[in-house]
Amino acid sequence: MSEKIINLTCLLIIEEAKDILTNYPATHQAAFEQPSLRNQLINQVLSQIPEQSYTILNESEQLPKNPRRFYSCIEDRMMVEKLIHQSIIALLQEQNEMLHSLPQQDDSCSATTPMNANKKLYRWFGY
């Protein structure tokens, strides 16, 4: 019978992040529906927790349905919640900065631009 090591801290972060995100605007929730951003959130929070809890499960055993019961200390839970909030904000800011740093397309030659806005272009054609 094989056994697997389960990171209970990771399970707690996943559950807490789900609950915390329900209090954020729908646009923020949608952003974290992307697996890559959700994984970044989990990894960022996990990397800041020094003492993590693990358990070993046999192949036939199920994951704990409520990982919160392993974290009865309110200070630990509060720290996890704080880290999740901080990481959500940091990752959303990072995403926003990345979107705004993309080069903007030059629409000066579009069909909807008035003709006198493109005088240099028209002069080149002899107008």
Q: What is the pLDDT of residue 67?
A: 76
pTM of the model: 0.72
The one-letter amino acid at 79: M
Q: Where are the beta strands (DSSP E) in 24-113?
A: 54-58
Q: What is the pLDDT of residue 53?
A: 85
Tens-digit pLDDT profile for residues 18-35: 999 999 999 999 999 999
